[in-house]
């Protein structure tokens, strides 16, 4: 059975974050873990900043707080 | 609001509220961008989510995916390039004034266009203006009309054709009246005004 290809890899070097487990005496968080969160956030920012739609031929894009509305140019 | 890039922390650093808030703000900044860029289809479009991306298409199939087809509207006929269209003359010619609307992209390469009204008379706009910048309209009947166009170098996007009708005054129309409209290249509209 044909399968969809894997999605494009997220830009950057970050890896999916692991959740942490609570303990009765609290959890120690390493700087490495904090930095992995920061890396992940920065990669997401990079993805978001590069997702801005660009109009092609006979297409207009109107950016609104609710989303980018694309329209066909009919004239 | 743009939030500043997060700096790495050093080993032994304290997890401060400033750092946590910085992470939250930076995450919300990215989320806000993604919300803005979420595509919503407008007129004649639809958005099709795919596993590996979002596809945007016209509602109607379009050759080459570049030129949308314009649905016909009242008092307006839309035609594509290099095709002949036949319309019954129930298209109201009572006003006898119509406009030809051409897309701007077709203006540079268009060489000629013509209106043919079968069973009555036909009109043809020559591709070469005369010394006064006027394009001649010839009718199959003995009537010849001149239309003054504002753009003397190219066919304008909008041309007013006066006195276009199923048959000229005093002439008896033949049977099977229809209008045949063609152009090259580019789509064209016949708009009643």
Chain B residue at shortest CA distance from A53: B37
pLDDT tens per residue, range B124-157: 344 455 565 554 444 433 223 333 333 333 333 3
pLDDT tens per residue, range A22-54: 888 888 888 988 999 999 899 889 888 888 888
Is B13 in Cβ contact with A67 (below 8 Å)? Answer: no
Q: Following CA atoms A62, A67, A72, A73 in sequence, which dihedral angle do they give, to the nearest 10 degrees?
A: -10
B39-41 and B45-50: which strand pairing? Answer: unpaired
- ipTM of the complex model: 0.74
* B23/chain A closest Cα distance in angstroms: 7
Tokens coding B179: 């209008």
Q: Is A49 on the interface with B (CB under 8 A)?
A: yes
Domain-by-domain residue ranges, chain B? 17-58, 70-192
Q: Is B45 on the interface with A (CB under 8 A)?
A: yes
Is A59 in Cβ contact with B38 (below 8 Å)? Answer: no
Q: Which residues pair with B169 in a beta bridge?
A: none
Q: Are A41 and A55 in contact (CB under 8 A)?
A: no
- Correct CATH for B70-192 of 2.60.120, 1.10.3470, 1.25.40, 1.10.10: 2.60.120
Task: Provide, for chain A, the percentages of residues in helix, strand and coil under a 3-state DSSP scheme, each rounded to the nearest 5.
Answer: 25, 15, 60
């Amino acid at each position: 059975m044909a399968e969809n290809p894997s999605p494009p890899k997220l830009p950057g070097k970050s890896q999916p974050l692991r959740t942490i487990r609570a303990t009765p005496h609290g959890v120690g968080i390493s700087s490495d873990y904090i930095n992995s969160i920061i890396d992940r956030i920065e990669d997401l920012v990079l993805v978001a900043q590069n997702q801005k739609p660009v109009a092609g031929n006979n297409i207009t894009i109107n950016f609104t707080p609710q989303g980018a509305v694309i329209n066909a140019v009919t004239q | 609001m743009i939030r500043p890039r997060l700096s790495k922390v050093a080993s032994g650093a304290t997890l401060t509220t400033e750092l946590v808030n910085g992470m939250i703000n930076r995450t919300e900044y990215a989320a806000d961008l993604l919300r803005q860029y979420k595509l919503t289809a407008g007129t004649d479009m639809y958005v099709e989510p795919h596993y590996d991306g979002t596809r945007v298409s016209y509602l109607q199939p379009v050759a080459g995916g570049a030129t949308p087809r314009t649905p016909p509207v009242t008092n307006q006929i839309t035609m594509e390039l290099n095709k002949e269209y036949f319309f019954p003359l129930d298209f109201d010619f009572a006003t006898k004034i119509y406009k030809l609307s051409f897309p701007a992209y077709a203006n540079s390469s268009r060489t000629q266009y013509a209106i043919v009204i079968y069973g009555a008379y036909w009109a043809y706009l020559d591709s070469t203006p005369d010394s006064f910048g006027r394009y001649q309209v010839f009718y199959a009947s003995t009537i010849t009309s001149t239309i003054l166009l504002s753009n003397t170098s190219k066919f304008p996007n909008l041309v007013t054709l006066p006195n276009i009708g199923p048959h000229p005054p005093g002439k008896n129309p033949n049977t099977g009246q229809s209008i045949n409209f063609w152009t090259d290249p580019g789509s064209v509209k016949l708009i009643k005004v």
